Amino acid sequence: MTKQQFLIVGAGFSGAILARKLAECLPTQVTVIDERDHIAGNCHTERDSATGVMIHQYGPHIFNTNRADVWTYVNQFGEMGAYTNRVKAITKRGVFSMPINLLTINQFFGKTFSPREAEAFLRTRGDASIGEPQNFEEQALKMLGPELYEAFFYGYTKKQWGCEPTALPASILKRLPVRFNYDDNYYAARYQGIPVDGYTRMIENILTHERITVECGRSYEDSMRAEYDHVFYTGPLDRYFRGAAGRLGYRTVTFERFEADGDYQGNAVLNYPEMDVSYTRIHEHKHFAPWESHERTVYFREYSKETTDEDIPYYPKRLEDDMAKLLQYRELAAAESGVSFLGRLGTYRYMNMDQAIGEAMDFAAVVIESVNAGRPLPALSNTHP
């Protein structure tokens, strides 16, 4: 087999894991580039110089998965500290546990329901006239009723997405659980944790291999294709094609930083769902590492906004217009020679870390099999928009 030269654009989890798998299993040299001055993408972590707290520079990232192979894989490259995400919501009516659970329901309505009673009660609040919900708001009204929807979801959703919830798909709310017990663990995943040494160190360990070269501060240019046998692109799909089908919609977030002595809010994440508060949540990062102790603290107010050319894209909006453009971009990607697209930005999908990691592992297996069999490499890591 002849020696391959691969270029991977993007040094987040998707690019790093693909690079490692290819370097381990093929006679190849892999170059990983990233336009930022650091690896790890939006998972980037570093020590705050003023407080010593490990900061999630692009917002909180709590690792959770039900895939044992994903959990086993990342634990090869860094110790996972035990962490349970227990989110609270601050409203005029008080402080409530999220996601909605039996304690939330009993506190909010001033009841002492059992699980069965709470489930029956919530059915009476839901809008039975709604058949198959067509948008986020209808899904919420059918599932929760107007009181819980308006208290916890309407304002938060409007601030986060920058539009009325009626413009958003029902599937967004379907990802959020409602529990009829007192479990306030935000995630129901079997495996949960945060790397003790931070995500950046973990991804650095993944990228440490004799056949991998990493270059930060280097942007992708079309001329690079001629230098490599194949390019794997994890950046924004529409940027690669220079906006040929129009700009895909994303939301981004900005942060306002504060320091204080001691403990500012007593919890890692507090949501602010009401419209009279301009930010969506406050995260205090010392609480993401309960195995550490710090005399001072650092916390951030998080604001959501529309993404411009200067912003880092976070959440794909995937509205009707976006999905029409996505189909055009997927056709362009399928016709592109010598390039494959993967990851959250490269396929324009909402993906959690474990999903991005699992996809990179699975896609790497397909690439390795294709190279060994002499078949063309697939253009896209997923087959559905």
- Which residues, 6 or more positions from 214, have their beta carbon under 8 angstroms from its beta carbon? 11, 31, 32, 33, 34, 39, 207
Cβ(154)–Cβ(91) below 8 Å: no
How distant, in Å, are the alpha carbons of 80, 226, 232, 340 from that of 353?
Answer: 14, 31, 18, 20
pLDDT of residue 1: 45
What SS3 state is found at 343? helix
What is the rounded distance in angstroms from the CA atom of residue 289 to the CA atom of residue 47? 12
CA atoms within 13 A on the CB side of 374: 2
Answer yes or no: are the C-beta atoms of 161 and 137 closer than 8 Å. no
pLDDT at residue 82 in the model? 97
Residue type, 221: E
Q: What pLDDT score does 2 carry?
A: 58
- Kindly give the confidence (pLDDT) of every residue in the chain, 385 residues in length, as a single tens digit, with 9 standing for 90 and above: 456 899 999 999 999 999 999 999 999 999 999 999 999 999 999 999 999 999 999 999 999 999 999 999 999 999 999 999 999 999 999 999 999 999 999 999 999 999 999 999 999 999 999 999 999 999 999 999 999 999 999 999 999 999 999 999 888 876 677 999 999 999 999 999 999 999 999 999 999 999 999 999 999 999 999 999 999 999 999 999 999 999 999 999 999 999 999 999 999 999 999 999 999 999 999 999 999 999 999 999 999 999 998 999 999 999 999 999 999 999 999 999 999 999 999 999 989 999 999 999 999 999 999 999 999 999 999 877 8
Bond preceding residue 99 cis, omega within 30 of 0: yes
Cβ-Cβ contacts under 8 Å for 16 (sequence gap 6 or more): 32, 39, 40, 203, 206, 207
pLDDT, position 175: 65
Question: What CA–CA distances, in Å, run from 258 to 285, 301, 322?
Answer: 11, 8, 36
CA angle 104, 107, 112 (to 5 degrees): 105
Structure-token pair, residue 376 = 């063309």
Sequence-separated (6 or more) residues with CB below 8 Å from residue 285: 48, 53, 54, 55, 56, 60, 268, 297, 298, 299, 300
Helices first, then strands: H and E counts in the chain? 13, 17
Phi, psi (deg, nearest 5) at residue 266:
75, 10
Residue 58, token pair as written in the block = 């692009």
Other CB atoms within 10 A of residue 326 CB: 20
89 pairs with which residues across the strands?
96, 271
Alpha helices in 7-152 (DSSP H): 13-25, 68-75, 102-109, 115-125, 136-143, 146-148
